[in-house]
Chain A
Amino acid sequence: DTAVSQTPKYLVTQMGNDKSIKCEQNLGHDTMYWYKQDSKKFLKIMFSYNNKELIINETVPNRFSPKSPDKAHLNLHINSLELGDSAVYFCASSQDRGYYGYTFGSGTRLTVV
């Protein structure tokens, strides 16, 4: 029944490692997003895909690479993790490019040690 599901919920890893976060939505939405929420709760968009096409690519280090195999899935791969990557990463989805609201997942808390 979960509308937007992310895995894993928690991720603790060492600096320099490569990790992936997966996201799936069962709402039939055509657009998916990755947002980063820092320790001060500030939410910043990273990427957006519409029907598997990248439409938003903010100023994010190229160590971050999104992949959308189909419009229901959007994964985030992070290479060479750094301490500053520690944050909560939220996946979201929307229909019609967001004019009826975004549905967010429950987040993945990434801790780099």
Chain B
Amino acid sequence: QQQVKQSPQSLIVQKGGISIINCAYENTAFDYFPWYQQFPGKGPALLIAIRPDVSEKKEGRFTISFNKSAKQFSLHIMDSQPGDSATYFCAASINSKLTFGKGITLSVRP
């Protein structure tokens, strides 16, 4: 049973465009929702995170939108750059256990 589901599976965006990655979760007890970015040969790195009492959080070009009633959250990357090309994971946490989505590969074309 996959508790955290990401979509789409892959994404290609032109430089300067907006990248949108969606995530849906099942367990309403999750209380922390981070996004991680992973480059080839590296470990995942925390990008931005949100708690369920907040509907939106913005850090630079990255924004999380959170919809508690729909059990969904999404990552928006504004002004996407080729350097943003990586694998992105949404995740959800409860009791110290972080459960990851399957990840999506984002390619930003110059």
- A and B held together in a complex: yes
- B-binding residues in A (CB < 8 A): 4, 31, 33, 40-45, 48, 50, 55-56, 90, 92, 94, 97-99, 101-107
Most buried by A among B95, B98, B102, B103: B98
User: Number of contacting residues on B, CB 8 A?
Assistant: 21
Stretch in B11-19, B21-29, B37-45, B56-64 with 4+ CB within 8 Å of A: B37-45
The 9 A-B pairs with the shortest beta carbon distances in the complex, nearest first, are A104-B43, A97-B96, A101-B46, A43-B100, A41-B103, A104-B44, A106-B43, A98-B96, A90-B43
B103 contacts A42, C-beta separation under 8 Å: yes
B102 contacts A48, C-beta separation under 8 Å: no
A41-B38, A45-B99, A102-B46 given; name 8 further pairs at CB < 8 Å.
A4-B43, A42-B103, A43-B44, A43-B103, A90-B43, A102-B98, A106-B42, A107-B41
Cβ–Cβ < 8 Å partners of A90 in chain B: 43-44
Most buried by B among A33, A41, A44, A50: A41
Could you tell me the distance in whole angstroms from the C-beta of A23 to the nearest C-beta in chain B? 11
Bound: A9/B79 CA distance, A: 34
Bound: A107/B45 CA distance, A: 12
